[in-house]
Amino acid sequence: MASTIDETGKSHERTIVHTGQHYDPSLSRVFFEELDLPEPDLNLDVGSGSQSTQTGKAMIRLEQVFEKLRPDVVLVQGDTNTTLAAALAGRKLGIDIGHVEAGLRSHDLRMPEEHNRRLTDHLSSYLFAPTDRAAKNLQQESCWGSPVVTGNTVIDACLKYKDKAEKFSRIFESIPYDQFALATVHRAENVDSPVVLREFCTAFADCPLPVVLPLHPRTLMRLRESGLEVHLRASKNVKILPPVGYLDFLLLLSRCSFVLTDSGGIQEEATAPNIRKKVFVMREWTERPEAVEAGYCELVGTKHAYIAARIHEFLVSGISPSKPCPYGDGRAGARIANFVSSLQPMSNSKPESLAPLGVQNAP
């Protein structure tokens, strides 16, 4: 446990709990090191398993931690199994939950993340929405908590760490291209389908620019199971990399010509004022419609022929995104911290007192 000082000079005790849902060093440890984050106070070593197994193990272990610490507020980020587990464990102990990145909706119930984010929003007292649209989603669903529009913390990270990435990343020592497309694929509904995975591999192999592809461990396993790995590695158009750290990825993102992805977060990172890249989203739906409306992202589905057609149109037109970043100015983290520091605990309130409040825009 450590103390932190907010912008008003007020001191608060905080505890960082790492569940270990992501336990591969390339997907976990590297982020603490590269982003100069404090060491986790606790690591619960939840590890892998089915969706229910992972969520249940995290919930049981987090309940034990919360019973011991009795925090005033538990902050959870995003839409992972850990997010839902922490929200459930905290709420059942009468502890207030603050959900960072609240209100995102893909309306695609195949996505485990959609279940997690919806349930977490309805369990949370404080809903830190990145955009006005996200806050409106929360109001339309009659969530009990109070929506506060803050922007998204991913923009904070892009603005803070890009210069560090330029200085310390050595990723381009292994990239032989001056122009390239950056690709990532990991969504279960995509990589667990051999048909969809084959479409993606064809799109990468036939892309008019070389493709740099950092491979998520889950995706690599599915490529091997489907027999597609050998063909993808044989392609002279695809440079396969192991999972890369945040600084390496930020530099790849800033220097690529465009992005091919089924990720959610990259759709936001690409809109950062110091990134501004075109993203072809290989999905039918997105929980980031603001990025589509602003011209950064385009939904292209999972068929390689349509993906190729849209890439060709983009390269011919040369049109790049021109609208401002829709996800804030890089001060989301400070707004959230200041809001939390001003709170009076609500844990003893009855559920009726958590009726939907008006949307606030954090200063």
Give the three-class secondary structure for 78. Answer: coil
User: Both tokens of residue 115?
Assistant: 């279940």
**d(C-alpha 281, C-alpha 288), whole Å:** 10
Catalytic residue among 18, 99, 186, 216: 186
Number of helical H runs and strand E runs in the chain: 15, 15
Per the CB < 8 A criterion, the answer to whether 278 and 269 are in contact is no
**d(C-alpha 270, C-alpha 247), whole Å:** 14
Whole-angstrom CA distances from 161 to 144, 152, 164 are 35, 15, 5
**d(C-alpha 345, C-alpha 125), whole Å:** 10
**Closest C-alpha among 18, 23, 79, 27 to residue 249:** 27
User: Both tokens of residue 132?
Assistant: 């006005």
Mark whether 231 is an active-site residue.
no
Cite the active site residues.
186
